[in-house]
Amino acid sequence: MGFKHQSKTRFFVLVLLVGLGSLNLNAAVLHQRVPAPPPKRIDPSPVKGEVLKNRWDIKPPPHELNVKGKTIDPYNQNKLKGDTPIIGQDVFFIFTAQSETLFEHRKLPIPSAASAAGAGRFSFFGNGNLTSINQNFRFTLELYKGNTAFEPRKWEVRVTPVFNINRLQARERGVINANVARGTVRNEFDFALQEALAEYHLGNVSDRFDFISLRGGIQPFTSDLRGFVFTDTNLGGRLFGNFGNNKYQWNAAFFDLLEKNTNSELNMLDRRRQEVLVVNLFKQDFFDLPGWTNQFSIVWNHDQATKHFDQNGVLTRPDPVGAAKKHDLDAVYFGWTSDGHIGRFNVAHAFYFVTGRDQNNPIASRDLDIFAQMAALELSYDRDWYRLKTSFFFATGDDEPRDDTGKGFDAVVDFPKFAGGENSFFHRQNIRLNGINLTQRNSFLTNLRSSKTEGQSNFVNPGLFLANVGTDIEVIPQLKALVNANYLYFLETAPLELFLNQANIRNEIGWDMSLGLQYRPFLNNNVILNLNGAYFLPGAGFRDILTSQDLYQVFSNLVLTY
């Protein structure tokens, strides 16, 4: 019994050991990593497709929203409007055609000449009604390289030939030409290359595409935000660019001015012998005020001594007053201007200080040091469909016209967009006074100058104070009404008294009231019709030097653009 019991015990121990060994062997086998068989290679099936060498060849599928472009259609995709490249993938061409038709009738104080147009006219002032038609046809051809959706143009070439037809009908002789034998009607045709420029992108100054570019040729340029000192299209070179993520823009421009045609105001090919240098800097969000842009500028006007008669036989350089001697003029303007909004209020201002030397001023008949100032302020407030605004303009006058300092402010070639602008009678019309102009066309300044484009700046003048109230009304989306009333005042009358040899001239110029309508039937700039009527009520000072008759203007201006 003992032996059997021991044998059974040994047998069970042996079976237990064999079982445990089998379990360990199975566990080892389970933990071994057996490599998976390699995947079977399957050749990809061929894909049918087409390689596009030009992304501009991608055409959207036919759909009612995708209108096929046409050459005569400026609204949809058009090669002539720079929508697709004309050469390669990044050279584009833009063609613009524009017709501008101006019809204007106005009444001005015009003296009756020695050879009057009508018999029996003995009064000093004759019939001051003038009717004019001016037609411009502009064709702009623009070729440039670059993907301008992301970066500035690499280079650009632009030309703009202009064909002009103008007609003036007066009621008095000596108006259309200094030669009274020319009658009372003038018809002219003129042609000019009003723009001819090339521009080259010199490089970027940041990864935000801030850049520097160079432009040369006949080109448009405005020295400040509202055109108070220099606005012209003329021959020059311009280095310009931006920095600080486009928060700063700058210009350095030099112009060697060309003569202008007197009647069409287009460029001629003759040198004017006048140079203008402009350096300015624009800063957006000035004083951390979003939407308020400020600009600082320096303008140098170097006008050399020349003698010049305009196309109508009138002496414009030197001014036909006083000794009428040829004289050099150097004037330097320092300016600070702004435009934009501060909160809900729209704010625009300008301040200029000018200094320099006039070697033989015609009114003072002596050399002058120039020391004059100009200031302007416009405030407006938008309420839904209308804007209420008020403006003030101040240009110093010369209280001592015989001394050696010219204190009356004058510009180089101005075209201010201010206080009603060209809708205003006193701004739009050039009012003649004893062989020169009291005011120039499209300028408020009472500068006693022969011509804005062909004469020289004159810093012996009466100056001006202007106060304006007005409103811009969105009558309907297509129609805007511009209503303005201006009160005008001579700051100093001594230059007028010296020039006219007339004592006790009063200061009040008068009231200028205007209504302008702008109609855009398609809510774009392809068709624009401007209508205007302005009425001028002479004040005491204007009656002293010219006339007590009420004056007026009406005009229509139709602009068609392709």
In the prediction, which pLDDT does 441 show? 97
In the prediction, which pLDDT does 4 show? 46
Q: Please tell me the least confidently modeled range out of 62-66, 149-153, 435-439.
A: 62-66
Q: For residue 306, which amino acid is it? A: T
Q: How confident is the prediction for the chain on average, in pLDDT?
A: 91
Give the residue from 510, 344, 530 showing the smallest Cα distance to 421.
530
Whether the predicted pLDDT of 264 surpasses 50: yes
Write the pLDDT tens digit of every residue in 9-59: 555 545 445 454 554 544 444 455 556 677 766 666 665 666 666 777 777
In the prediction, which pLDDT does 76 show? 86
Q: Which two tokens stand for residue 144?
A: 């440039």
**List of residues 6+ apart from 406 with CB closer than 8 A:** 358, 361, 364, 368, 369, 370, 371, 372, 398, 458, 459, 460
Give the residue from 557, 223, 281, 228 showing the smallest Cα distance to 417.
228
The predicted model gives 122-134 an average pLDDT of 86
The predicted model gives 496-519 an average pLDDT of 98
Q: Please tell me the least confidently modeled range out of 28-37, 110-119, 170-179, 334-343.
A: 28-37
Whether the predicted pLDDT of 117 surpasses 80: no
Residue 227 region by backbone torsions, left for phi larger than 0, else alpha for psi between -120 and 50, else beta: left
Of how many residues is the chain composed? 562
The predicted model gives 78-83 an average pLDDT of 92
H/E stretch holding 486 reads: strand 479-489
Instruction: Give the position of tokens 């009603």.
Output: 420
The SS3 call for residue 133 is strand
Q: Please tell me the least confidently modeled range out of 143-152, 168-177, 428-437, 460-469.
A: 143-152
The predicted model gives 504-527 an average pLDDT of 97
How far is Cα 119 from Cα 173, in angstroms, rounded to an integer?
Answer: 12
Q: Which two tokens stand for residue 469?
A: 């109230």
| CATH code of the region 67-561 | 2.40.160.100
Q: Is the peptide bond before 318 cis (omega within 30 degrees of 0)?
A: yes
The SS3 call for residue 287 is helix
Q: Is the distance from CB of 412 to CB of 335 less than 8 angstroms?
A: no
Q: Is the distance from CB of 217 to CB of 178 less than 8 angstroms?
A: no
Share of the chain above pLDDT 90, in %: 81
Whether the predicted pLDDT of 68 surpasses 50: yes
In the prediction, which pLDDT does 8 show? 52
**List of residues 6+ apart from 326 with CB closer than 8 A:** 305, 306, 307, 317, 318, 360
Query: For 457-467, b where at least 16 C-beta lie within 10 A, e where not — what string?
Result: bbbbbbbbbbe
Q: Is the distance from CB of 95 to CB of 141 less than 8 angstroms?
A: yes
The predicted model gives 380-407 an average pLDDT of 97
Q: Is the distance from CB of 133 to CB of 166 less than 8 angstroms?
A: yes
The predicted model gives 392-416 an average pLDDT of 98
The predicted model gives 247-272 an average pLDDT of 97
The predicted model gives 401-420 an average pLDDT of 97
Using a 10 angstrom Cβ sphere, with 0-12 exposed, 13-18 middle and 19 or more buried, the burial of residue 436 is buried
The predicted model gives 1-7 an average pLDDT of 48
The predicted model gives 443-457 an average pLDDT of 97
Which of the 8 DSSP states describes residue 25?
H
The predicted model gives 414-427 an average pLDDT of 97
Write the pLDDT tens digit of every residue in 281-307: 999 999 999 999 999 999 999 999 999
Write the pLDDT tens digit of every residue in 467-505: 999 999 999 999 999 999 999 999 999 999 999 999 999
| Stated pTM of the model | 0.88
Whether the predicted pLDDT of 60 surpasses 80: no
In the prediction, which pLDDT does 369 show? 98
How far is Cα 201 from Cα 197, in angstroms, rounded to an integer?
Answer: 14
